[in-house]
Amino acid sequence: MNDKKNINIYDIAKISGVSTATVSRVMNNSPKVTEKTKAKVMAAIEQCGYTPNIFAQGLGLNSMHTIGILVPSIADLYMSNAVAHIEDILHNAGYDCILHCSGYSAKQKETHIQLLLNKKIDALILVGSTYAGSEDTTHNTDYIKQAAKRVPVFIINGLVNGDNIYCTASNDYQAAYDVTSALIRDGREQILFLTDSKSYSANQKKNGYLDALRNEGKTLDESKIIHTVNSVYTVKDMLTENEQLSFDSIFATDDAMAIGAIKYAISKNLHMPNDLAIVGYNNSTLCVCSEPELSSVDNKIEQVCQDTCNRLIEILQGNTDIPNQSIINCSLIQRGTTNFE
């Protein structure tokens, strides 16, 4: 048997054959636990020779009061913004945070999740839809389901089904659908779609764009869907060099790409939004750093992070009546690159 100082809620759950949430309910004297199940958990605790103290109750045995946060890259504006919100909320709630940057490969993700789990974290937050898989890779999400057998796993902006996995995502499909429909109603016939990823979130945006075209009776032109590096000058140069490409509007899945489109328009003496309408995504600080200022989809990242942290805290306190998925609606913030009615 492990030394009692190293026993935690996951060890007790394994020994007693119940979930970590059930152990938490027993520690909190929840009436939702049957006497038979409570007896099994208490027997496991006694077997380990551990007596929980007051501080540990509600957060599990020997809780470290620590949350693991994993992002592919902190250099990304969306990721850094999300981490800032998460840390602020959790620190105010009395939790410490351990941040790892995994990169984008499947092996790196799995390695960094294991490193965080080895630190005896109480829960794991995965920031970004890259963890929910991609359309162009065989990489699956089994590694997340394995991690969820040890701690509650929370995914920001990606949906993965599984026990002890909780997801909060922006409604990227509907936002992209609404923006594309608005561009069409504005008289735009050739809408360029710029994306830098094939992640879960990027696919939701692309599907919204495609469905809006279909439902508005527009013919899909595959040349209008362009995968490019998420870089201001890469996009500007790509549009400049691609002279055969015809378009009257641009919908980019990140603000940096949309800013590149603005720079292209300026270099060509195109008036925005009359000659060229441009919409970005994420409503980042970049939107007000250009002239004209950029219209962009506000994906409500602060609300997504608040929702994630609220549910995390509830679960660690023993509340199991928490939905596994939560979808947050987005909104378009109009500035100088569109003039929708």
Residue 126 lies in a domain: yes
**Residue 160, domain extent:** 66-170+301-329
266 shares a domain with 200: yes
Residue 56 lies in a domain: no
213-222 contact pairs (CB < 8 A, 24+): 213/180, 213/184, 215/181, 216/180, 216/181, 216/184, 218/184, 218/189, 221/190
181 shares a domain with 84: no
315 shares a domain with 239: no
Question: For residue 81, what pLDDT is reported?
Answer: 95
User: DSSP of 244-302, one letter per residue?
Assistant: T---SEEEESSHHHHHHHHHHHHHTT--TTTT-EEEEES--GGGGSSSSPPEEEE--HH
Q: What residue type is assigned to position 146 of the chain?
A: Q
Select the highest-mean-pLDDT range: 4-13, 30-39, 326-335.
326-335
287 shares a domain with 144: no
Higher pLDDT, 227 or 43: 227
What percent of the chain is predicted at pLDDT more than 90? Answer: 69
Helices (H) and strands (E) in the chain, counts: 11, 12
**CA 8, 12, 18, 22 torsion: positive or negative?**
negative
Residue 119 has pLDDT above 70, yes or no: yes
pLDDT in tens, 48-93: 765 554 334 444 445 668 999 999 999 999 999 999 999 999 988 8
Question: For residue 137, what pLDDT is reported?
Answer: 47
Overall domain count for the chain: 3
Global pTM reads 0.80
Question: For residue 4, what pLDDT is reported?
Answer: 53
CATH code (residue 211) = 3.40.50.2300
Containing 81, the helix (H) or strand (E) segment is: helix 77-92
pLDDT-derived band at 154 (thresholds 50, 70, 90) equals: very high
